[in-house]
Amino acid sequence: MSFRCAFSVLFPHKAHRNALCALVATLALAVAPTAPAIAAGAQDPAPQTTVNAIEAEVMCPICGTLLELAESPQARREKVFVARLVAAGKSKAEVKDALVAQYGPSVLALPKASGFDLSAYLVPILAIAIAVVALAFSVLRWRRSGREDEASASEAAAAAPRAEDAERLEADLSRYDL
């Protein structure tokens, strides 16, 4: 059975067939402009990140430097590997995961926030916290000593001789002046 015969059997009325044809044509026109974009997208997905952004955050494990600064043969291969993944539309996290799978965790410029590597983040925070506490103690102590100095100064001022006593003292001292 030909397609035309089957179409006639399914839709015996000409008006129905015409209406269906119009609907199909409208749908085809609506989809047509997006079709090349969909086809292009399937072949060449839009990059989600850039090669430079990745290279600034990962290492060349052999060189011990950031990949963006490295020019060794291994670094060049690693750069090609990154570029291929970026061109394939992988996100930054996906590219980094792929790099770790291929080159091991030492490829990451930043240590992971788990296991012993977590100490790389915790130690500076702890050090800053300890420094803040130490500074706070020092300030409190300094202020307390300042208040004590003021108190002793006022005590000293209170203990200072009055004018007539001072005059008498001067007179007494001048009497013994040699």
The residues binding other proteins (CB under 8 A) are 61-62, 72-74, 76-78, 81, 101-107, 123
3-state secondary structure of 161: coil
Q: What are phi and psi of 11, to 5 degrees?
A: -125, 85
CB of 58 to other proteins, least distance (A): 12
CB of 107 to other proteins, least distance (A): 7
Q: Which is nearer to other proteins, 49 or 75 (by Cβ)?
A: 75
Q: Which is nearer to other proteins, 57 or 78 (CB)?
A: 78
- State the helix-helix crossing angle for 92-103 and 73-87, rounded to 10 degrees: 140
Residue placing its CB nearer to other proteins in the complex, 27 or 123: 123
Cα separation of 88 and 115, whole Å? 32
Contacts of 62 (CB under 8 A, 6+ apart): 72, 74, 75
* 65 Cβ contact partners less than 8 Å away, ≥ 6 residues apart: 59
CB of 73 to other proteins, least distance (A): 4
Return the amino acid letter for 9: V
Please compute, for residue 141, the number of CA atoms within 13 A of its CA located in the half-sphere on the CB side. Answer: 6
Nearest approach in angstroms of CB 104 to other proteins is 2
Closer Cβ to other proteins, 145 or 152, answer by number: 145
**123 vs 153, beta carbon nearer other proteins:** 123
Closest CA to 79 of 44, 54, 108, 48: 54
Q: What is the smallest separation between the CB atom of 149 and other proteins, expressed in angstroms?
A: 23
**Minimum separation from the CB atom of position 64 to other proteins (A):** 11
Residue closer to other proteins by CB (options 11, 98) is: 98
Residues forming beta bridges with residue 67, ordered by sequence position: none
